[in-house]
Amino acid sequence: LSEVIKEGDDVLLLLDRKKTFLVKANKDKILHTHKGFITLENLLGEKFGTGIRSNLSVEFKALRPTIRDYIFKMNRRTQIIYPKDIALIIVNCNIHSGCHIVEAGTGTGALTAALAFYVQPSGHVFSYETRDDHIETALRNITRANLSEFVDIKNKDISEGIDERELDAVVLDLATPWQIVNHAYVALKGSGMFASFSPTIDQTLKTTIALRETGFVDINTIECLVRRIRVEIGKTRPETLMTGHTGYLTFGRKAN
C-alpha cells in the first residue's frame, strides 16, 4: 500500500470522532461540509495521515479507511452485525487469508465485507440472500469497500441447501439458523467452524440443540458488551449510556 494518496484512492476525512467523510481522491471533485468545502485534488501527492484545510480553514485529517470505516459508511437495508461481534466471529472461526466461507443472509453486506477483507486475496465468500433488493444494496456496499472480487452473492434460500463443499466456515445471521445446521455440517471440512448470530435466547437454544444432535463439538455461546470510557482529566469514567444487547454468538466445530 502506497503511503502517498493517489488519484482514485479512498480517503476518510476526519473532523472529529463523530464527523467523518469517506471520499475518493479525484481531481475534479469538491466535498461540501458544514465546515466549508474541500478541494479533493489537494489530497493528491499528500501522505495518508496529513491534515487538509477547508476554505474556512478548518482542518480535516486524511486517513486510510479501515474495514470498520467502510462498514459504518454502508447504506443500510437491514440490521447489521457490528464490529464488536464481527471481531469475535473472525477470531473464533479462525478466519484468515485463503479461507472459503459460506455466509447467510447477506443483508446489508457488513459481515460479508469483513469476511472478504480477512480471506483475501486467495480465499472467497459465498453469501446467500433471498431478497433482490438486499442483494443490490449489499453489492454496492461491498464494491464501495473494494472487496467484490472476493465475494459471490447467490440469490438462494440457504435452507434449501449449501452448494459448496470443504468449507472452512459457515456463518449465519438469519431468523432460523437451526434449519441450516445439517446443511452446514455436510458443507464443512472436518474441524470446520460454524458460527451463528441471533438476537434472542429462543433462537440460540434451538441452534445449540441442533448442533448437539448433528455432531458438532466445542459448542459455545457468548455475548459481547462494549462499554465506552469517557477519558478527560478528573472525569474519566464509563459513559452513562451503552448498547445493552445486539445478539448472542453461537459457535461449533464439525467432528465425526
Ligand X SMILES: C[S@@+](CC[C@H](N)C(=O)[O-])C[C@H]1O[C@@H](n2cnc3c(N)ncnc32)[C@H](O)[C@@H]1O
Binding status of residue 210 toward ligand X by CB under 6 A = no
Residue with smaller CB distance to ligand X, 40 or 181: 181
Q: Which H or E element spans position 206? A: helix 201-214
Give me the residue label for grid cell 487469508: 97
Rama region for 105: left / alpha / beta (φ>0; ψ in -120 to 50; rest) = beta
Minimum CB–partner distance for residue 104 and ligand X (Å): 4
Minimum CB–partner distance for residue 71 and ligand X (Å): 8
Binding status of residue 214 toward ligand X by CB under 6 A = no
Closest CA to 249 of 130, 90, 136, 117: 90
119, 173, 250, 254: which one binds ligand X (CB under 6 A): 173
Binding status of residue 79 toward ligand X by CB under 6 A = yes
> CB-based burial of residue 159 (10 Å sphere; 0-12 exposed, 13-18 middle, 19+ buried)?
middle
13, 80, 89, 193: which one binds ligand X (CB under 6 A): 80
Minimum CB–partner distance for residue 172 and ligand X (Å): 9
Binding status of residue 116 toward ligand X by CB under 6 A = no
- CB-CB contact of 49 with 62 (8 Å): yes
Q: Which stretch binds ligand X (CB under 6 A): 50-58, 101-109, 115-123, 234-242?
A: 101-109
Residues near 205 by beta carbon (within 8 Å), at least 6 away in sequence? none
Binding status of residue 78 toward ligand X by CB under 6 A = yes
Q: Can you list the alpha helix ranges (DSSP code H) found in 60-200?
A: 67-72, 83-92, 110-119, 132-144, 181-187
**How far from chain centre, in Å, is Cα 16?**
22
Cis omega (within 30 of 0) for bond into 65:
no
Binding status of residue 158 toward ligand X by CB under 6 A = yes
Q: Which stretch binds ligand X (CB under 6 A): 10-18, 125-133, 202-210, 211-219?
A: 125-133
Binding status of residue 89 toward ligand X by CB under 6 A = no
Residues near 171 by beta carbon (within 8 Å), at least 6 away in sequence? 89, 93, 101, 102, 103, 111, 115, 194, 195, 196
Binding status of residue 108 toward ligand X by CB under 6 A = yes
Cβ-proximal residue to ligand X, closest one: 105
Residue with smaller CB distance to ligand X, 26 or 146: 146
* Residue numbers at the binding site for ligand X (CB under 6 A): 78-81, 104-105, 107-111, 128-131, 134, 157-159, 173-175
